[in-house]
Structure 1
Amino acid sequence: MTATHNRLARAATVALIGVTLLPAAATAQTAERNNPFAIFDLFTGALPGSRPAGAAPQPVNAPAQAPTPAPVSSTPQWSGEDGGSGHPLMTAAAIRQAAANFDNCVASMWPDAARRGISRESFARFTAGLSPDLRLMDLMDSQPEFTKSIWDYLDILVNDTRLARGREILAQYKPQFDAVERATGVDRYIIASIWGIESNYSTQMGDRYVVNSTATLACVGRRQKYFKDEFLTALEILHHGDLRPEQLRGSWAGAFGPTQFMPTAFKRFAVDADGDGRKDVVDNPYDLIASTANNLKKDGWQSGETWGYEVVVPKGFNYMLADRRHSQSLAQWQQMGLQRPTGQPFPRPSDKAYLLAPAGADGPGFLMLTNFRVIMKYNPAEAYALAIGHFADRLRGGAPFVQDWPRQEKALSRTEKLELQQLLANRGFYRGTPDGQFGSMTREALRNFQASIGAPADGFATGEMLERLRGR
């Protein structure tokens, strides 16, 4: 999955900061042959508690009766205003013009659908009744004024209630986790963590009809090429019978299911784990667990390794080295004075890692390994990946982080972040376009400014740094 793909797919979760599709009538042998990790035979008869091939799946979170997808959500309505990105396709006039042409736009995608093997009957059936959900334009260009600090974010996601439910899930589906972990080498606790943080264990998966959302975004707004692929892939999923229309409900950007697959990610990673001829990542726990593991495995998951370590960074440390581009062995970091707060040694000192200091010199440091980078392919936000790794450790029985966060610091608002970028640009440190959203360019610019005034160059944006830039 690409970083852009995931920023869109999981926007609701992070307020901060190639498997071939099988026809519904595919035989069990074909399902096994197309399963890269041979999970099929592990789930059919050989496993205590697993269901036989062809039996009805036990739903992950099945409602009493599956709802019929409505074309669009009725409230709230589109604001009718220009989008905040300033893109010419996001002006109110351009949005209205594209919406007026929506039916023609959808119809024009039939030749592309036909080339993907979608029948005319399926195309007509699954596009009937679609209408543009213009509220998505506001969501696409939303720029929240206030954001959460990383410690508040972690407090919300890694809590006792969610941990208790996660342990229940691990126990309930132990045979499935056993088989998937054995077949793929992907840590069960990471899979359970993603399930818990993405959808709070299938209770918060979004309620927008994915076909309608992706059709809207394929015809209106600034990401039409990207979402055209997602729309056509959603039609493929329905045509092949892997999922039913009522199961394709999700986020505004089209991510669906307990671990939030975009349609194209489903096409690449979904696995028919139990050999029933369908890849059901919504209501079938077997397929859900195996498909999420397949995603991580194909993204480079290193079996038997952790994601990273909390470390104490010594006073006076050169935080210019706290950069994703600067990777060295754990032994080398240790020689520079970085130690685990518990005093434990690093189990594999030759492993390469980079230093992350998400709260600056006054907060804990983290040495991030290869698997942290893999989690960031699932979602490229460091706060998200840290939450996933930490939640997995807690599910495993690990303790909370040892060091304190600088909770006295208030997270800067978007307006303040925009001002900070503008002030850094005025002083020649920032060469990007100020937008109020912090990335590696802003962090590097802030580090250079901090170094110029003799402050710890940790790249952590605080109210004090903003005041220093203001010259007060």
Structure 2
Amino acid sequence: MRLIPLLAALVLSAHTATAATQCGGSFNGFVKGLKREAIANGHSKSTVNAFFANVKKDPKTLKADRSQGVFQMPFIDFSRRLISKNRIDVGKSKAKTYSSTFDRIERNYGVSRGVLLAFWAFETDYGAFQGDFNTLNSLVTLSHDCRRPELFRPQVFAALELYENGDFSPTKTTGAWAGEIGMVQMLPKDILENGVDGDGDGKVRLKTSPQDALMSGGNMLKQLGWRAGEPWLQEVSVPKNLDWSKSGLNHSMKASEWARMGVKPRQGKLPNLQASLLLPQGRKGPAFLAYPNFRVYFEWNKSFVYVTTAAYFATRLEGAKSYVAGNPDPAFNGNQMKSLQKKLKAHGHDVGKVDGILGAKTRAAVQKEQIRLGLPADAWPTAQLMNKL
């Protein structure tokens, strides 16, 4: 499910340069290069040879990496697909079963239980489907591929370190196509840096121990900047005459300022925090205030629709009402979105890759053009915008 693995934004630029010069070419030659680097870094030759003995290029991994069309879905469709009554019921049951673990997480890391329950549900359906890709094959394949080697090459050496510690098998360890392991899907480097023995057996077993997986996930979120005891997302109602140009993650103001503009919470009170007004499908659809913790989600996944859905589901697991869907303008399909992105690029906007996904850069460009053309600047593309462009 993850679009980009954990800690992608934290990879050092030096690693990027190194990986970019060492990807591609013969796969066997590439593996020999990895082995030479591992030995140069102090790993014994016999350990390195044993670790890489059976590694293979995995075409299925590359196919999965190129096939992430699910992220083209708009928020309402995506969230309804991922959030079911059964997932909510199971989540509430898991919250009771592991109540003492969640209490420890909240004490030690300040991460609310709904947040981890939502990740647990979306990543592996509460541990039921953890992926059957050979982890080492996937990591080496993605390191060899020149699309994002800087993300994956360091993970190969982290897996080698886990292997030396007795916590990784080159032939038996499996997980997601992008190399994540366990119930909340963590990469080898993340396990080394943030793994926690939650059940007290002396080992960090993220595939078989919910306590280990949840505690490790909580520790990671804290290290990524999670602020203890603060909310992350709150559904609100908005007046029809709001200045829509102030919406979006590129803008923020105190929640009290939003309140003076007529923004009201559907439940509870507005906290005394900076907040961005989030309109996943424009001014006619659901509306949320996103607080500082919401931005931490983007260290877990770069997809706007996934992050918003995961954050919203976390609030549902803690008692929030189902959002008011409203009646948003029709969503563009993938080809329409690509056409829009090309037009935006022609107007000088940086939308990143033309991929048919309404990501942060495309949303920002849409909003700028809406302002320029005198349209409601809610960052949601419409046929009217396309015609004016």
Band the TM-score falls in, shorter-chain normalisation: 0.7 to 0.9
- For normalisation by structure 2, the TM-score amounts to 0.87
Whether 1:365 and 2:287 are equivalent positions in the alignment is yes
Please provide the CA RMSD for this pair. Answer: 2.6
Which residue does the alignment assign to 2:47? 122
Gaps of at least 5 residues in structure 1 are 1-5, 11-17, 19-88, 90-94
- Point out the more displaced range, 411-420 or 327-336: 411-420
In the TM superposition, what is the alpha-carbon distance from 1:461 to its structure 2 partner? 1.6
Which residue does the alignment assign to 2:233? 308
The whole-number CA distance in structure 2 between the counterparts of 1:118 and 1:188 is 39
Which residue does the alignment assign to 2:4? 8
The whole-number CA distance in structure 1 between the counterparts of 2:173 and 2:344 is 45
CA contact (8 A) 2:3 2:68 kept: no
In the TM superposition, what is the alpha-carbon distance from 1:359 to its structure 2 partner? 1.0
SS in 2 for 1:325: coil
In the TM superposition, what is the alpha-carbon distance from 1:160 to its structure 2 partner? 0.6
Size of the aligned set, in residue pairs, is: 373
Q: Map 1:259-278 onto structure 2 (within 5 A).
A: 259-278=184-203
Which residue does the alignment assign to 1:422? 342
Q: Map 1:26-45 onto structure 2 (within 5 A).
A: none
In the TM superposition, what is the alpha-carbon distance from 1:180 to its structure 2 partner? 2.5
The whole-number CA distance in structure 1 between the counterparts of 2:366 and 2:101 is 47
CA contact (8 A) 1:146 1:414 kept: no
User: 1:262-309, CA deviations, whole angstroms, 9 ceiling, x for partnerless residues?
Assistant: 122222211123443322111122211110000111112222221121
Whether 1:318 and 2:238 are equivalent positions in the alignment is no
Which residue does the alignment assign to 2:215? 290
In the TM superposition, what is the alpha-carbon distance from 1:115 to its structure 2 partner? 5.1
Which residue does the alignment assign to 1:222? 147
In the TM superposition, what is the alpha-carbon distance from 1:332 to its structure 2 partner? 1.0
Q: Does the C-alpha gap of structure 1 residues 152 and 432 become closer, same or farther in structure 2, counting only changes over 3 Å?
A: closer
In the TM superposition, what is the alpha-carbon distance from 1:452 to its structure 2 partner? 3.6
The whole-number CA distance in structure 1 between the counterparts of 2:27 and 2:110 is 45
The whole-number CA distance in structure 2 between the counterparts of 1:433 and 1:263 is 28
User: 1:42-84, CA deviations, whole angstroms, 9 ceiling, x for partnerless residues?
Assistant: xxxxxxxxxxxxxxxxxxxxxxxxxxxxxxxxxxxxxxxxxxx
The whole-number CA distance in structure 2 between the counterparts of 1:145 and 1:386 is 14
- For normalisation by structure 1, the TM-score amounts to 0.72
SS in 1 for 2:275: strand
Q: Map 1:31-110 onto structure 2 (within 5 A).
A: 98=25, 101-110=26-35
Match of 2:125 among 189, 200, 210: 200
Gaps of at least 5 residues in structure 2 are 11-19
The whole-number CA distance in structure 1 between the counterparts of 2:41 and 2:204 is 18
The whole-number CA distance in structure 1 between the counterparts of 2:319 and 2:61 is 40
The whole-number CA distance in structure 1 between the counterparts of 2:31 and 2:242 is 57
| Higher Cα Rg, which structure | 1
SS in 2 for 1:286: helix
Which residue does the alignment assign to 2:15? none
Q: Does the C-alpha gap of structure 1 residues 246 and 129 become closer, same or farther in structure 2, counting only changes over 3 Å?
A: closer
Which residue does the alignment assign to 2:13? none
Which residue does the alignment assign to 1:345? 269
Match of 1:448 among 346, 355, 368: 368
Q: Does the C-alpha gap of structure 1 residues 440 and 167 become closer, same or farther in structure 2, counting only changes over 3 Å?
A: closer
SS in 2 for 1:310: strand
The whole-number CA distance in structure 1 between the counterparts of 2:101 and 2:114 is 13
In the TM superposition, what is the alpha-carbon distance from 1:215 to its structure 2 partner? 1.3
SS in 2 for 1:8: coil
SS in 1 for 2:265: coil
Whether 1:457 and 2:377 are equivalent positions in the alignment is yes
